[in-house]
Amino acid sequence: MTKPRLERPALDQLARHAKNIRRHVLRMAAGRGQGYVGQGLDAADILAALYFGEMRHDPAQPDWPERDRFLLSTGHYSIVLFAALAEAGVLNEAELDTYGADGSRLEMSSLETTPGVEITGGSLGHGLSLAAGMALGARLTGATHRVFNFLSDGELQEGATWEAAMFAAHQRLDRLVAIVDVNRTQADGPLEDVLEVEPVADKWRAFGWQAVEVNGNDLSELVPALATTRRRGRKPRVIVCHTRLGYGVPLIMERERAHFVRVEADEWDEASRQLERLA
């Protein structure tokens, strides 16, 4: 089966998808009163640009062999992946209300048993190794799909990430794309107080990768950066995305600690109102 490449949506269409993804994120978090809502809001533009602009996939066939693979290494970002999958039609929107509930397929850390989810994420530092293995396996079998691995800046503190980066460059896995969410925040606090990882892009270049830095909350920068991943170049690529935790909702953005957020029942309506004011 050969799937034709879809016409690239205009930026305003992608922006509508990104806003809907954020709406889904707030819906899921409000249902539990808590969750990784800050990460979901900050990564919505990235997943909108991937699922509705760049990646080759078929919502009616989540396991279509020729699909591009999206690997969520940061499993606690599952809230935004589920939101994107619902927006794409892979998941039923009504199921979003079960996020984080006992017995739900939509756990707070993603599992590969959920439709549209490629790997079980959670233990940080493993995703890039899996992605490199998938990319190498695809090359050995003659497959042409790309492998996109989403990871966080805090995850760059894991040694296994850099071992995988070194392996991927040595193998010249030019269908492998790492997307690093640099929001400067992790569970124990700001990166500058825990363990600094900058200069991020220069480190990837030193490991033999092609690297570009963009504003991860600006689709006009994200879209052309992702488009470069279609070209072959004998090097893996990394897109370093600088984002704001809780982007679009000041109530979340302005919190001193927003890694895992608990919001009072009367605040969720205000969060939704703030999101609707986002252009």
Nearest to 35 by CA among 111, 94, 106, 87: 106
Mean pLDDT by 10-residue block, N- to C-terminus, for the chain (279 residues)? 48 95 94 86 97 93 92 93 96 94 90 92 86 97 96 92 97 97 82 85 97 96 94 94 94 78 83 90
* DSSP 8-class letter at 155: G
- pLDDT, residue 236, reads 98
Q: Tokens 């800046």 appear where?
A: 153
Q: How far apart are CA 95 and CA 86, in angstroms?
A: 9
User: In this structure, what token pair is assigned to residue 53?
Assistant: 């602009």
- pLDDT, residue 125, reads 77
φ/ψ (deg, to 5) at 195: -165, 110
- pLDDT, residue 84, reads 97
Q: Domains of the chain by range and CATH?
A: 11-276 (3.40.50.970)
70-81 per-residue burial string, b: 16 or more CB within 10 A, e: under 16? bbbbbbbbbbbb
- pLDDT, residue 109, reads 87
- pLDDT, residue 9, reads 55
